[in-house]
Amino acid sequence: MRKITNEELGRPSAGEFARMEKMPVAVVLDNVRSMQNVGAFFRTADAFAVERIALCGITATPPNREIHKTALGAELTVAWDYFAATTDCIAALRAQGYLIYVVEQVEGAVMLDEFRPRPGQKYALVFGNEVDGVAQEVVDAADGAIEIPQAGTKHSVNVSVAGGVVLWNFFWQVRPKR
């Protein structure tokens, strides 16, 4: 085996990425504390061609050196908005036709491996604070919940890892055509 060079990967330019079809998913970060987690979400959103990220509450926004360390420039290619209140963000996304799903351990959550996105439907996926998770008022405003099946003793993963797992699951099911 030979490693593929960056030139051989066929990566789109920033301009091409801006014009290409995106996965019909918006990521909502509900009071995420760590700027490294925010940066990791930008990088993952770029990798899976997410439509946009909504940064809410105490979640840091670009430009920021700490976000850039993990985003590696993806904060410049992925569209983003800021909302002081996550509930305001959810209301705005719902008005644009998104179904709102929190990624959280709640009663009635659908396990990720059993969740099937509907073709043509837009989804907003809400990820919560590293300690407290998604705020209850946000859970109350959601259309549903998705839980990541886990087998270990902790029953939790880092929020940016959760983002990678959930976004990959959506990507393989509804990936945009290239």
Q: CB neighbours of 172 closer than 8 A, spacing ≥ 6? A: none
Instruction: Give the Å distances, CA to CA, from 163 to 19, 122, 160.
Output: 24, 17, 5
Strand partners, 79: 52
CA distance 140 to 173: 27
pLDDT at 178: 56
Check residue 177 and give its pLDDT: 64
- For residue 172, what pLDDT is reported? 93
Does 19-148+155-174 carry CATH code 3.40.50.11540? Answer: no
82: nearest Cα among 69, 64, 66: 64
Sign of CA dihedral 159, 160, 162, 166: positive
pLDDT tens for 67-111 read 999 999 999 999 999 999 999 999 999 999 999 999 999 999 999
pTM, 2 dp: 0.95
The residue among 56, 78, 96 whose CA lies nearest residue 167 is 78
Contacts of residue 6, defined as CB under 8 A and 6 or more positions apart, other chains included, come to none
Contacts of 135 (CB under 8 A, 6+ apart): 30, 31, 86, 128, 129
Q: Are 55 and 31 in contact (CB under 8 A)?
A: no
Looking up tokens 């079809």 gives 21
Q: Is 154 helix (H, G, I), strand (E, B) or coil?
A: coil
Which residue numbers in the chain have pLDDT < 70?
A: 176-178
pLDDT in the model for residue 7: 86
- Tell me which DSSP letter residue 20 carries: S
Task: Give residue limits of the domains in the chain.
Answer: 19-148+155-174
